[in-house]
Amino acid sequence: MTGLVSRATRWARLLPVIAASTALMAGATHAGPVEPIRLGISGVMSGPLSVIGEDYREGAHLAVEQINAAGGVLGRPIQLFVVDNQCDPAQGINAAGNLIFAHRVAAFIGSSCSGVTLAVMPVIQRIGIVQLTVGSTNPRITEQAGRGGNIWQFRMNIDDAIMARGTSELLADEARVAAIIAPDNDFGRGAADAFRANLTSKGVRITSTELYTSGQPDFRPLLSKIKAANPEALVVVADAPDAAPMAQQFVELGMSAKIFGRGSVVSAEFVRLVRDNRIWNGAKEVNRWAPSNSRFEQDYARRYGRPPRIHAPLPYYGIHVLAEAIRLARSDERRAIRDALTQVNLTFPELGPVRFNEFHQAHPDMFITQLRDGAVVTLGRRPSLAR
């Protein structure tokens, strides 16, 4: 009998801990004098893609700080909660759950990983809360949003197909033969398919499409293969960390071809990693954002000591868009925010118009940029919505 009692006592000692954790997860709230507006952001904060998560967090934080410094929204400050989804769908569901239930956010910005975004979509639909995606590229997200069925899913980043069309137009003006290099992930394969389709329809001959694994050190084998086919132009789908060694090895091999980037080839980060302004000087890229010495960039540099990387601007603007929706709705109630988002009609001078169509897809502008002697120069700007 004593065994039973001592055993029960042992478990009883654990109960307060269990109870506290349960309460935390069941959604304990804390009230303050001015109730803040709670927003969330789910990013990849660990693992090989954590650079992207860092950008998300920094961009979003900057926006929140700016808004709060200007008096907040509806007179209330924004409180930002950042969670790690590990680029894993099941963890992503729980990360969203953490935002939704433990932190009781009114809306949140979704992950760059399409798998996570897609897994979370049924959850937000059931619960009724907005997920604003600013980086996932999978077209199924938009297919299923808005009129496609899920009225709580919104996407702010332009489709890859649209960007590929823009870049292909540029390329077709300058070359008749091209090769494509892309990473073997969601982003890369989608972009490569879009480029192939667009370029061939414009009469450009594709010598080959080469895939690489993001993070691989050596691109010389595929560059040698491309060099042998001697294309006039090269479409490089890559973020700066991959583009930099690729560019160096391109020069090493003595290659010459016009470079058209997709990702963050033409970027300050690329220049920083390559440390040589001659490499890929003149490369062009169509991107969803371009540096323009905007207030965002100045504030970012002051706050973090370096220019923003490619994944930071959209979360920043995403927070501003959510803030605008809250202003329009005059409430931070979840349903009200959703309804207001469908009415949002903003224009950011350095980004373009943000208005969500019937599939809850926004179409900010596309920027044509070029690398000139170590600086990113904006050659032009186009609306991404086809006329």
Partner 1 sequence: MRLVLEQVLNGLTTGAMYALVAAGLALTVGVLRVVNFSHGDLFMLGGYLFWALYIHLRVPYPVAALLMVPLMVLLGIVYQHVVIRPVVRRAWQVQLIATLAAATMINNGVIWLLGSTPQSTPTTLSRTIVQFLGFSMSAQRLLMLLAAPAVFVALHLFLQRSRIGQAMRAVSQNREAAEAVGIELPVMALWTFAIGTALIGIANVLVTPVYTVFPAMGLMLTLKGFAVMTVGGFGRVNGTIFAALMLGVVEALGAGYIHSGFTDAFAFIAMVLTLLLRPQGLFGRKVGI
Partner 2 sequence: MRPAARASAVLVAAVVAAPVMLGAEYLLRVLILAGIFVVLAISYDLIVGQVGSLSLAHPAFYGVGAYTTGILTTRYGLDPLPTFLVAAALGAVTAVVVGIPSFRLRDRSFAIGTLGMAWVLQLVANNWIGLTRGPMCITGVPPLMIMLPGGVELTTIFPRTGYVLIVVIAIATYLIAWAINSSRVGRAFHAIRENELLAEMQGVNSLFYKMLALGIGAAIAAVAGGYYATYSSVVCPSEMAMMYTITLLIIVYLGGAGSLRGVTVAAVVFVVLPEVLRVAAAARLFVYGGLLLGAAIYLPGGVEALINRVERAWPGRSATPRSGR
Confirm if 314 and 59 have CB atoms less than 8 A apart: yes
The answer to whether residue 232 forms part of the interface with partner 2 (CB under 8 A) is no
The answer to whether residue 209 forms part of the interface with partner 2 (CB under 8 A) is no
Nearer to partner 1, 56 or 367 (CB): 56
**What letter does residue 148 receive in the DSSP assignment?**
G
SS3 106: coil
List 15, 20, 74, 218, residue binding partner 1 (CB under 8 A):
218
The answer to whether residue 177 forms part of the interface with partner 1 (CB under 8 A) is no
SS3 248: helix
Q: Which of partner 2, partner 1, none is residue 89 near (CB under 5 to 8 Å by kind)?
A: partner 2
User: Which residue is listed with tokens 């391109």?
Assistant: 250
Nearer to partner 2, 24 or 74 (CB): 24
Q: Which of partner 1, partner 2, none is residue 248 near (CB under 5 to 8 Å by kind)?
A: partner 1
Considering the complex, what minimum distance in angstroms separates the CB of residue 21 from partner 2?
Answer: 5
Q: Can you tell me the distance from the alpha carbon of 307 to that of 202, in angstroms, rounded to the nearest whole number?
A: 36
The answer to whether residue 275 forms part of the interface with partner 1 (CB under 8 A) is yes
Q: Can you tell me the distance from the alpha carbon of 103 to that of 192, in angstroms, rounded to the nearest whole number?
A: 39
Q: Can you tell me the distance from the alpha carbon of 246 to that of 358, in angstroms, rounded to the nearest whole number?
A: 40
Q: Can you tell me the distance from the alpha carbon of 233 to that of 84, in angstroms, rounded to the nearest whole number?
A: 39
Considering the complex, what minimum distance in angstroms separates the CB of residue 227 from partner 1?
Answer: 8
In the chain, the largest separation of any two C-alpha atoms, in whole Å, equals 88
The answer to whether residue 50 forms part of the interface with partner 1 (CB under 8 A) is yes
Confirm if 208 and 236 have CB atoms less than 8 A apart: no
Considering the complex, what minimum distance in angstroms separates the CB of residue 169 from partner 2?
Answer: 26
What type of residue sits at position 46? S
The answer to whether residue 339 forms part of the interface with partner 2 (CB under 8 A) is no
Q: Which of partner 2, partner 1, none is residue 87 near (CB under 5 to 8 Å by kind)?
A: partner 2
The answer to whether residue 256 forms part of the interface with partner 1 (CB under 8 A) is no
DSSP per residue, 334-377: HHHHHHHHHH--EEETTTEEE---TTSB----EEEEEEETTEEE
- Which parts of this chain interact with partner 2 (CB under 8 A)? 1-4, 6-8, 10-11, 18, 21-22, 24-27, 45-47, 50, 83-84, 86-91, 93-94, 97-98, 100-102, 114-115, 118-119, 122, 126-127, 138, 140, 184-186, 189-190
